[in-house]
Amino acid sequence: MELVQLTVESRQETGKSAARRVRAGGAVPGVVYGLHRETQHLSVETADLHHLTSGSDANVLIDLEMPGVERESSVAAMIKSVQRDPVTRAPLSVDFQWVSLTELLVVEVPLEVVGVAPGVEDDGGVIDQHLHTVSVQCLPTAIPSSIAIDINGMHITDSRFVGDLPEIDGVTYMLESDQVILSIAAPISEADLETRTDEDLESLVELEVGGEVEEAEGLEPEAPAESEETGEGGEA
């Protein structure tokens, strides 16, 4: 995995008013922490952050260039979280985390459903997907952008498990091999619909349904000494 270069500005002023000024100027307030380093406040151009978070790869490795911070070839940054406006989805704040390129870490990797299931295509069944990401341990440079779960040949009542995922060099799955990822459920009749609860129906998803990853989750975090940006996120 190649590193994406990102230049950010350091911030001396903190707090809600300062964060509002940052956003008014076309940037997003944030912090970077981890590897037992002091939490540092920064700002990143909104367009640059959008470029990093709009792609399919939720675990981008970043070569973070910041005034006053010495760059090290063995250290990179990752996006830990992005807090967004609940209505406009505009970014309000961002947390970056330092990671060592030579140390194993645990991250969540998106699962990509591939193939055609006869139970869906021919018999009208639906995919009941329990996991949309899978927890893996690997070096930062070995993080897959996604992992395919193959549904070819699946019929109604068939299931796929963590143990069915492909072996990937340098990647260890952190879940039990018998944990269910998805199943093919029988089609729902009108009579069934009348008796099903909303919760029952929400668990049944179509093949194309998948959650957009907004936050890079799963890193073993060193919580920042003070997540002022979380407060800023609501009103950073």
CA 198 to chain centroid, in Å, comes to 26
Q: For the chain, give the percent of residues with pLDDT over 90.
A: 70
Q: Classify domain 4-102+220-235 at the CATH class level.
A: mainly beta
Quick: pLDDT tens for 66-91. 998 888 999 999 999 999 999 999 99
- N- to C-terminal Cα distance for the chain? 32
**How does the average pLDDT of the chain come out, rounded?**
85
Q: Are 131 and 182 in contact (CB under 8 A)?
A: yes
Q: Is 62 helix (H, G, I), strand (E, B) or coil?
A: strand
CB atoms within 10 A of CB 69: 16
Write down the pLDDT at residue 225: 43
Write down the pLDDT at residue 214: 36
pLDDT by residue, tens only, the chain of 236 residues? 779 999 999 999 999 999 999 999 999 999 999 999 999 999 999 999 999 988 767 799 999 999 988 889 999 999 999 999 999 999 999 999 999 999 999 999 999 999 999 999 999 999 999 999 999 999 999 999 999 999 999 999 999 999 999 999 999 999 999 999 999 999 877 766 666 666 555 555 444 333 333 333 444 445 454 444 444 444 44
Question: Rounded to 5, what percent of the chain is helix, strand, coil?
Answer: 20, 35, 45
Write down the pLDDT at residue 193: 63
Closest CA to 180 of 112, 130, 105, 125: 130
> Domain-by-domain residue ranges, the chain?
4-102+220-235, 106-202
Q: Establish whether domains 4-102+220-235 and 106-202 are of one fold.
A: no
Write down the pLDDT at residue 56: 67
Q: What are the φ/ψ torsions at residue 109 (nearest 5 degrees)?
A: -115, 135
Supply the Cα-derived Rg of the chain in whole angstroms: 21
Write down the pLDDT at residue 226: 41
Q: Is 134 helix (H, G, I), strand (E, B) or coil?
A: strand
Write down the pLDDT at residue 6: 95
Helical ranges in the chain per DSSP H: 16-24, 46-53, 118-121, 190-195, 198-202, 228-235
**106-202 homologous superfamily:** Ribosomal protein L25, C-terminal domain (2.170.120.20)
